[in-house]
Amino acid sequence: MTGHILQALSAREMERGPSQQTDSPQWKHWKLAEGEQGIVWLTFDKQDTSANVVSTEVLEELEAILEKLHLQPPKGLVIRSTKASGFCLGADIGEFRKLESRDEAAEKLARAHEVVNRLDNASYTTVAVIHGACLGGGLELALACNYRIAVPGAKLGFPEVKLGLHPGLGGTARLTRLIDPMEAMTLMLTGKTVPHQKAEKLGMVDQVVEERHVASAVAAAVAGDIDPAGHGLRGRVLSTRPARQLETRQMRSKAAEKAPPEHYPAPEALIRLWEEHGGDDEAMLRAEVDSFAELLMTDTSRNLVRVFFLQETMKGLTRTEAEPVNHIHVVGAGEMGADIAGWCAYNGLSVTLFDMEPEKVAAAVAKLADLCNRKHRTPAQRRDILDRLTPDFGNHGIEHADLVLEAVPEKVEIKQKVYEEAEARMKDSAILATNTSSIPLETLRDKLKDPGRLVGLHFFNPVAMMPLVEVVSHDKVKQAIVKRAMAFTGQIDRLPAPVTTAPGFLVNRVLTPYLVEAMVMLDEGIAAETIDREAEKFGMPVGPVELADQVGLDICLSVANMLRDRLDTPMPPPPAWLEEKVENGDLGKKTGKGLYHWKKGKAEKESKVADAPDDTIDRLLLPMLNACRACLREQVIESEDLADGAMIFGTGFAPFRGGPMAYARKWGSADIRQALEALANRYGDRFGPDPGWAEDESGRSSEQS
């Protein structure tokens, strides 16, 4: 809502604030204007970008501007952004990748600190006016100002931990000084953003005002008529050394549960910074530089930065010129259909949902209401979201939808019956999509009059948590349909992985050997907890046994049998006891009993179990890498980067390792091939190395020569 106002820096604000441009032509990213009452307005407008980020050039220009103001000090300086996206999204992460050593990083960061410290120590009053996103380095610029005024809709936070880092431009010292240090540390350790209301409550911003009142609030701040935020006596007590040492024990314990320090060193580094230097800003700022530089050179940070760019690449695939989808009709209100329909309504689309069983549609509406509650939507927002999901017991939405998606059981004849009815009634421009997880699209399209409009949109469970959607094409699909499907995934805040139709597509093809090997190990008498513990030690969010229960043993069994039938790769038959469990209805989490017993959504596990055999992680992991290599060789997916992105965002594959192919590159194709051959000699042909490893070795040798 504020975007069009901010493009011109607000007409009313310009009348009352800046009046005379004083910017120098060499400033590409900043504009300086003199306003009334001795107040200068400095607007951040990074050249040729839709969003502000803090780069070396941005800071160099800021330093020159601050030098100019030092020679002729104003009464007040206001910093704000003209970008509709917000104040600033953080540091220019691309610059991180260019740094080659810890010393180089520390030197560059120390130089940046000098600029921000100069802003902090200005002789005049400084005010940051914040709208939209104010994250990372952008928030650190704002924290260096005397006052922060937010416009409704602002979001503030430090997401650096998601890149294997902590704040590096003074945020660790300034935030723990400004607000309750426990709240400050929690924000930095979790990487969560806070909306303007909570930011004001915490003391991160001094006032929240509507855009039309910004200039008046600025004048009041410069005049000293606004009391600055502060954490008071409690903060001073919590910043004492004994209190810090006491609090950091609990911090370490909580942080280690979600981010084991051997895999994710940033939380421990941040805790240590505050434990040793909290309350001493100068010491903490100096230590922050060294700590940040050290983290930046870790494999964890390097890989997480890579994952960030993988995510940006996948987001870029959604930016097409295709017409947006405004109305989606979902056929089938089972677990996946209900969640897809709800997620689309949550993200602003009109949705009609059909199922022959009314109670399933009612359950879908209830699940959407629960999602709204978990996402802390206001009553008005909740009402609008629920109004967008329309139960459609007559299946009439087919005629009006831009996209008709079937999510019925994985049986070809059922799906083809849905298509037969839908194709005759759909708009000519509409997409026909299937959420199949395993059936080749060549089979599904067999009876369609226009197979070019059929595309796969394979979501992952739970839909609201898993960001990936496999966009599945086939040799008769129209490229305009694929592009529109890609754009649709962006509309609903999901990441597309473009794959070609093949057994299991990419994710299930790669994940199934991992799950099957876990079943083989169980059959050998290795405890489920032992298997899962080894996978979690490697960095998986959950082990394969627990994951199989979460996916559903019936689905795992079905996909495994399908892949065994359709692939040349050897795969062992499922143990008889697994088939018995499925026949008896012990399907895992959804039935409360599977490979584990489940209570209140959690698997019950024994705490003391035997140690795992030495080759356990190789047996689990190498089949995944082998299948991934096969998919690349067969061109199921275009590149190693997209394969890594799909596995990270579709399965949670240890992000700090950069994805399966990034991990394979670090290991080396020759070593992987040899390890697979050793396992094949010991356990059987299912471990036979894919020919792609040898091709990879040959290709890399040619490049080197």
The residues annotated with a catalytic role in the active site are: 140, 160
Helix (H/G/I), strand (E/B), else coil: 314: helix
Cα 230 off chain centre by: 32
Q: Per residue in 604-637, is it b (16+ CB within 10 Å) or e — as a string?
A: ebeeeeeebeeebbbbbbbbbbbbbbbbbeeebb
- Smallest CA-to-CA distance from 431 within 483, 466, 380 is with 483
Residue 593 DSSP label: B
Residue 624, amino acid: M
CB contact set of 438 (below 8 Å; sequence gap of 6+):
410, 503, 504, 505, 508, 558, 559, 562, 563
Helix (H/G/I), strand (E/B), else coil: 245: helix
Residue 213 DSSP label: G
User: Rg for the chain (alpha carbons), in Å?
Assistant: 28
- Smallest CA-to-CA distance from 247 within 272, 221, 210 is with 272
683 C-beta neighbours (distance < 10 Å), count = 15
Helix (H/G/I), strand (E/B), else coil: 57: helix
CA distances from 481 to 224, 493, 499, 584 (A): 59, 19, 14, 42
Number of helical H runs and strand E runs in the chain: 31, 21
Widest Cα–Cα separation across the chain: 83
| Spatial separation of the C-alpha atoms in residues 660 and 283, rounded to whole Å | 40
Q: Beta strand pairing status for 193-195 and 155-157?
A: antiparallel
CB 183 within 8 A of CB 251: no
CB 80 within 8 A of CB 128: yes
Site of tokens 């509650």: 373
CB 154 within 8 A of CB 134: yes
